[in-house]
């Protein structure tokens, strides 16, 4: 049993119910700490428990359900539990990727919150030994007319661009949506992917006793103290008080850290490595020790500091950016130090691995914490929260009459469905010179440098569906990501998830989470699309009002050779062909929401067998496909318009009825192909028992839906201006 701590306690705050609550600990959780220690924790120890046992770090409300997700497959090298997932892409190469949220900090301080979200996810990737090659972002904001929305959109986009552009990673995809449910809590989900040698992946488990624990990167300051705990709580009117919990990032330091780490990794000096993200030094050290079955001793006097008189509590909980923790081979210390000093980064031995199960923290010749290390992780609370299944959705009320072109204008004039050039034109999409397909139309595609291969990336979820029917909505998020990859000609490999929900202590919110997990798991199993990494973000509420359940799926697919890529645009005279059956499902549709403010009805059902069959068919016949898009929000009409507009040519769809044009039936693709190729596809579909039908033609300079028509130029002006108009957005100077 760890010995009682003396000396330092005298100067520390008295532990009160208020202090315990301020650390995000419930009375029963504090009692669990007392039972573990057989004494009261010191102030520093209380902070350490708070950091390790909050929702953001311990997954205490979600662990039970996350274990039900499929995480393995022949392509999976490393699944959940490490900094990022690792998937084999052949030829001795692997793709390393993960998505995680920076929601709370981005609402409080949008530029820095979003920027450090990008920095954190990039570190997760290069910590594994991978060089980042792509980034994406899934962003959800409140109503454009809400007084904070424009500020948040501009700050978040600027922060993502400023950090990613300076670091030098192309931003190749993502999504942006607006809905009143995000008025008080925006979502900023950042994705990064990198390339590594499949036999040179670095992990976080420490090994060996007496090995030096080395601090690397930028100095530690007071920024971000309590950040992980803040991200595990709801917002209220005191939100401005939480501004000091948001970190500040420096992308140039991060770039140096990347290069230094990758250089060091070539020397065989690294035993284990962990980036300092949420809960900073505490979480990184505990995870390294726990995974390796070792204890850790740290002497905080040796921690590089950029502020004076920092306490042990502050150093252990700081979330200052651009920092790493490594366990190194002692004989390589001088070589490692030289590399980091060359890159003008701090290198400091701040501790060692020990045989005992202890987390021993020394500062100023005093013991500030002495805890059983394994208990910090393994004994974290794990809850089987009460939950109630989401009731069946009410039937869709009959939609008012609307002409097809007016319906299309309602969608393309809404910021959620308008052209997002305002966003992604602020990002460097071409750095590295390997981007094949930039944002704007389906999955982003990046060349695997020096090979004929490419990787496709997408991020998808339709929160309205998940709220109405969590199981089908969870399925749909996976299916749409899978389809987006297929539509680019990629074979889907694996996914990462970012599960954004409200307060799990409310049974109806927990029911949304459970339902979504069930749907995600079912779809991933049916499509051989395992979840290899991810993040859970709960307590996304303000004044008791929860966000829409938003389980975002980031998908990665492999294009094995350049000829497999589907990235063209329709050409004049191409035929429009739909693979999949159209029934005209309008429940929870984009049209109902945007044109009429109606969010009723059930989510569209997802037939996973059909999803697999139709996607496999498209991949098998991609040689005949000129351009392809999956049909999701906005149905056939919106997808056809987006393809036509991108190509600068008109489109005619034969259907005149709203359900056929704007229904959101799943398992469907829109294909553009010359008439002869289209006929070949139709014959092959008939032979395979796959529903397929000609629906129109790409031609002329007008958009015609049945008998309703408008000039493409008029619609294009609306489509390309609506986003900026909605957020009163003049482009910032740097764009």
d(CA 619, CA 708): 34
* Placement of tokens 């509420």 in the chain: 541
Those residues whose C-beta lies under 8 Å from the C-beta of residue 352, and which sit 6 or more positions away, are: 210, 211, 212, 213, 296, 297
Using alpha carbons, select from 263, 261, 373 the residue that is nearest to residue 324.
Answer: 261
Torsion angle defined by CA atoms of residues 349, 58, 24 and 227, in that order, rounded to the nearest 10 degrees: 50
d(CA 570, CA 416) in angstroms, rounded, equals 24
The number of angstroms, rounded, from the C-alpha of 704 to the middle of its chain's C-alpha atoms is: 37
Residues 6+ apart with CB under 8 A from 583: 659, 663, 665
**Cα 367 from Cα 553, distance rounded (Å):** 44
Catalytically annotated residues: 56, 102
The 3-state DSSP composition of the chain as helix, strand, coil percent (nearest 5) reads 40, 25, 40
Q: Scanning the structure block, which residue is given the tokens 């309205």?
A: 464
Q: CA 491, CA 505: separation in Å to the nearest integer?
A: 39
**CA torsion angle 33 38 41 47 (round to 10):** -30
- β-pairing, 651-653 vs 575-579, is unpaired
Phi/psi of residue 321, nearest 5 degrees: -90, 175
Strands lying side by side in the sheet with 295-299: 270-275, 323-328, 212-217, 346-354, 295-299, 359-363, 366-371
CB-based contact 564:494 (threshold 8 Å) = no
- β pairing state of 651-653 and 702-705: parallel
Strands of 67-111 (E only): list them.
Answer: 76-78, 85-90, 93-101
């Amino acid at each position: 049993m760890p010995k009682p701590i003396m000396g330092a306690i005298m100067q520390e705050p008295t532990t009160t119910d208020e202090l315990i609550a301020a650390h995000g600990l419930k009375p029963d959780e504090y009692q669990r700490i007392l039972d573990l220690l057989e004494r009261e924790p010191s102030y520093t120890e209380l902070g350490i428990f708070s950091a390790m046992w909050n929702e953001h770090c311990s997954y205490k409300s979600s662990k039970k359900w996350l274990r039900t997700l499929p995480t393995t497959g022949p392509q999976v090298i490393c699944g959940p539990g490490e900094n990022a997932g690792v998937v084999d892409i052949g030829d001795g190469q692997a793709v390393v990727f993960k998505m995680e949220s920076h929601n709370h900090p981005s609402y409080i301080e949008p530029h820095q919150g979003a920027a450090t979200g990008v920095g954190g996810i990039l570190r997760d990737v290069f910590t594994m030994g991978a060089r980042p090659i792509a980034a994406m972002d899934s962003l959800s904001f409140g109503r454009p007319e809400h007084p904070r929305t424009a500020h948040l959109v501009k700050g978040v986009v600027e922060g993502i661009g400023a950090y990613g552009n300076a670091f030098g990673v192309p931003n190749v995809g993502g999504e942006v949506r607006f809905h009143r449910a995000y008025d008080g809590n925006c979502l900023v989900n950042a994705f990064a992917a990198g390339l590594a040698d499949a036999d040179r992946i670095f992990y976080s488990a420490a090994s060996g006793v007496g090995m030096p624990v080395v601090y690397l990167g930028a100095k530690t300051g007071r920024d971000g103290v309590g950040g992980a705990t803040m991200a595990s709580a709801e917002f209220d009117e005191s939100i401005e008080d939480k501004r000091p919990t948001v970190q500040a990032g420096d992308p140039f330091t991060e770039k140096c850290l990347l290069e230094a780490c990758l250089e060091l990794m070539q020397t065989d000096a690294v035993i284990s490595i962990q980036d300092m993200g949420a809960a900073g030094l505490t979480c990184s050290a505990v995870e390294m020790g726990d995974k390796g079955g070792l204890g850790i001793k740290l002497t905080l006097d040796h921690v590089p500091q950029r502020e004076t008189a920092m306490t042990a509590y502050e150093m252990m909980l700081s979330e200052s950016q651009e920092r790493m923790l490594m366990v190194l081979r002692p004989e390589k210390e001088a070589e490692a130090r030289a590399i980091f000093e060359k890159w003008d980064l701090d290198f400091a031995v701040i501790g060692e691995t020990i045989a005992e199960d202890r987390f021993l923290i020394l500062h100023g010749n005093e013991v500030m914490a002495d805890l059983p290390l394994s208990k910090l992780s393994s004994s974290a609370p794990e809850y089987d929260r009460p939950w109630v299944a989401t009731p069946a959705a009410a039937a869709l009320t009959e939609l008012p009459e609307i002409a097809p072109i007016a319906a299309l204008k309602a969608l393309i004039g809404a910021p959620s469905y308008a052209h997002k050039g305002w966003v992604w034109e602020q990002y460097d999409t071409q750095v590295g010179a390997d981007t094949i397909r930039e944002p704007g139309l389906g999955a982003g595609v990046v060349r695997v440098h020096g090979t004929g291969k490419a990787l496709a990336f997408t991020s998808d979820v339709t929160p309205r569906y998940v709220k109405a029917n969590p199981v089908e909505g969870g399925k749909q998020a996976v299916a749409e990501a899978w389809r987006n990859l297929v539509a680019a000609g990629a074979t889907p490999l694996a996914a990462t998830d970012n599960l954004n929900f409200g307060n799990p202590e409310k049974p109806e919110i927990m029911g949304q989470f459970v339902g979504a997990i069930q749907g995600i798991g079912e779809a991933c199993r049916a499509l051989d699309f395992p979840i290899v990494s991810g993040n859970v973000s709960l307590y996304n509420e303000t004044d008791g009002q929860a966000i829409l359940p938003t389980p975002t799926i980031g998908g990665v697919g492999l294009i094995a050779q350049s000829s497999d890529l589907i990235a063209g645009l329709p050409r004049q005279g191409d035929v429009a062909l739909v693979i999949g059956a159209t029934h005209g499902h309008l429940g929870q549709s984009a049209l109902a929401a945007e044109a009429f403010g109606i969010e009723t009805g059930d989510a569209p059902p997802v037939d996973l067998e059909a999803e697999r069959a139709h996607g496999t068919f498209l991949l098998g016949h991609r040689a005949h496909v000129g351009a392809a898009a999956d049909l999701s929000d906005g149905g056939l009409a919106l997808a056809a318009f987006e393809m036509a507009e991108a190509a600068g040519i008109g489109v005619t769809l034969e259907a005149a009825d709203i359900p056929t044009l704007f229904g959101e039936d799943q398992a469907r693709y829109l294909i553009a192909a010359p008439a002869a190729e289209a006929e070949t596809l139709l014959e092959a579909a008939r032979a395979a028992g796959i529903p397929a039908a000609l629906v129109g033609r790409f031609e002329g300079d007008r958009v015609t839906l049945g008998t309703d028509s408008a000039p493409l130029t008029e619609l294009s002006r609306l489509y390309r201006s609506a986003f900026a108009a909605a957020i009163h957005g003049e482009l910032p100077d740097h764009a």
